[in-house]
Amino acid sequence: MSKTTAPVQRRTKLSCSEIWKLYGPNADRPAASRDEVESRAANGRCFAALSDVSLDIGEGEIFVVMGLSGSGKSTLLRCLAQLVEPTFGNVELDGRSLTRMGQAELREVRRHDMGMVFQHFGLLPHLTVAGNVALPLKIRGEKAESRDHAVATALELTGLAAMADRLPAQLSGGQQQRVGLARALAVGPGLLFLDEPFSALDPLIRRELQDELIRLQAGLHKTMVFVTHDFSEAVRVGDRVAIMKDGRLRQVGTPEDIVRQPADDYVRNFVAGVDLTRVIRCATAARPASRSDYAHAVSGQGRLSDAAETLMAAGGGPIAVQGEDGSLIGEIDLHAVLAAVSGKSLAGEPA
């Protein structure tokens, strides 16, 4: 698949080009050329967990990597974070090549510029919540005063301030994962890697934490690489989603792009189970305004599901769809919602 571009308005924060990761005999040896890695992958003795992956991830973007078990999601995340070394290809953070960086410099970049949150929370059982959050700051030699301040801010942001003195065993799974998130945020990195962070949680708590992440992101504007095998979660939290199969990217796009124009049958299968009203934005379903004055309005950025109540209050519409500055960008009614969800225009043509 060709290299994808970051959304126009974002600066590229993290990128990778032509990443391959081979496992098997002698697979630790880096390949000197693309031809070499391709022939090693093709000879049958090595297994390609990643094949030719190129991506640009924009600053402040939540970039979701989604795919079934074994598709290469964690390997991609680990290569981007340089926790494993790609067999071939280049990874750049803020324009600096991580793949060519020495170990000492890489360690510094990891300590200061990256945060990690994993499925199994990885909390130390004998340390309190505050102690766990402070640990990476202690390791990097932060002074007590700035450390305490960073810990208090991270606990406040994640709603844990009242639990600072508890031990992990005294917390629910969801609360423990909040501590994992707080610990990553306290380091103050611009870049967060989240590998299936909510997968161990029950659906209600999971949803609560997804909302929490979206809320936090609205104020923090971090760049996040978020791995999940749950398509609904991907389209809910992602600004863009990459869908992987067999170590390759099958499609990269906004949730709306993916649900409206799945690249192939593999992607279409995921889309089949998704509530489209929670993905498609009001601006996408809007048609030209038929008047200048409306009694009810919704934001174009909101999802169709967010407009349901307003539409009901307006007897089915039409209601105004507004831009971020309050300007009128069009109107929707129940028919427009149905048309968008069924992928048809009002005339019955594909939308």
Q: What residue ranges bind ligand ATP (CB under 6 A)?
A: 23, 49, 67, 69-75, 229
Least distance to ligand ATP, CB of residue 20, Å = 12
Rounded to whole angstroms, the Cα distance separating 99 from 33 reads 14
Residue 1 or 329 with smaller CB distance to ligand ATP: 1
For the CB of residue 73, give the shortest distance to ligand ATP in the complex, in Å: 4
Nearer to ligand ATP, 28 or 165 (CB): 28
Per the CB < 8 A criterion, the answer to whether 135 and 125 are in contact is no
Q: Which secondary-structure segment (H or E) carries 174?
A: helix 173-186
If the CB atoms of residues 102 and 273 are measured against ligand ATP, the closer one turns out to be: 273
Residues ≥6 apart with Cβ < 8 Å to 134: 147, 148, 151, 186
Count the Cβ atoms, other than its own, within 10 Å of residue 285.
25
Q: Could you tell me which residues come within 8 angstroms of residue 245 by beta carbon, excluding any fewer than 6 positions away?
A: 67, 68, 71, 266
Q: How many CB atoms lie within 10 A of CB 125?
A: 8
Closest approach of Cβ 250 to ligand ATP, in Å? 13
Q: Which is nearer to ligand ATP, 13 or 73 (CB)?
A: 73
Query: Looking at beta carbons only, is 75 or 128 nearer to ligand ATP?
Result: 75
Q: Shortest gap between Cβ of 70 and ligand ATP (angstroms)?
A: 4
- In whole angstroms, the minimum distance from the beta carbon of 51 to ligand ATP comes to 11
Q: Are 117 and 194 in contact (CB under 8 A)?
A: yes
